[in-house]
Amino acid sequence: MDRPPTPSRRQLLAGHAGGLTLAFLAGCVDRDPTDPGVGGSGSPEGNGSEPPESEELDLREANVVDVAFETAADGYAFDVTLHHDDEGEDGYANWWQIERIDGTRLGRRDLLHAHTQQPFTRSETVSIPDDAGCVVVRGHDQTHGYGGLAALVELDSGARRFVDQGPEPRSFGEDDCP
């Protein structure tokens, strides 16, 4: 009988980091975003390991406010949390995607309707090449397109960095990764 292949070091580390992140975040998805215990110490510009408090975000744009992941049989299972004022306008957050830092799209999760609960989390499994150690997670909305916070995620360590991407998809380099 053949033995299953041994996971790579990267897969093991990512699985452990993702599992720890998910364990830490368990039960936090439905918490009130205005609760002072939610959020982090990031600057209003969103250049930290935690996103700014919800009152500092432009909620007309699809802000990535959390990313968790773990290894899966066919890639990485990402849980991405967006914060967007879906009820306050005609448009809504219509997708999030995972990219290489050069902007090459690796996978996308389409969102088909407005979400009244904010922030909200949706999941998707994305195949990530072994040479992509850092990825970008971007949100998008029907009315404004890009904007708000994007997240850079280091797959080996699970470290995250939240950055205001501006109205056009901001370019990133290796130095931008956490």
Check which CATH number belongs to the domain holding 14 and give it: 2.60.40.10
Give a yes or no: residue 155 inside a domain: yes
Q: Report if residue 178 sits inside a domain.
A: no
3 state DSSP class of 57 = coil
Work out how many domains the chain is built from and give that number. 1
Helix, strand, coil share of the chain (percent; to 5):
15, 35, 55
C-alpha–C-alpha distance, residues 137 and 152, integer Å: 6
The first and second tokens of residue 25, run together, are 């975040």
The boundaries of the domain holding residue 16 are: 9-172
pLDDT tens for the chain, 178 residues: list them. Answer: 455 455 554 554 455 444 444 433 333 333 333 333 333 323 334 456 676 666 676 666 788 999 999 999 989 999 999 877 756 556 777 889 999 999 999 999 998 767 666 788 989 999 999 999 999 999 988 877 788 889 999 999 999 999 988 777 788 999 999 9
1 within a domain of the structure (yes/no): no
Could you tell me the pTM of the whole model? 0.68
In a domain, 115, yes or no: yes
Instruction: Give domain status of residue 2, yes or no.
Output: no
User: Is 127 part of a structural domain of the chain?
Assistant: yes
Q: Is residue 177 part of a domain?
A: no
Peptide bond into 119 cis (omega under 30): yes
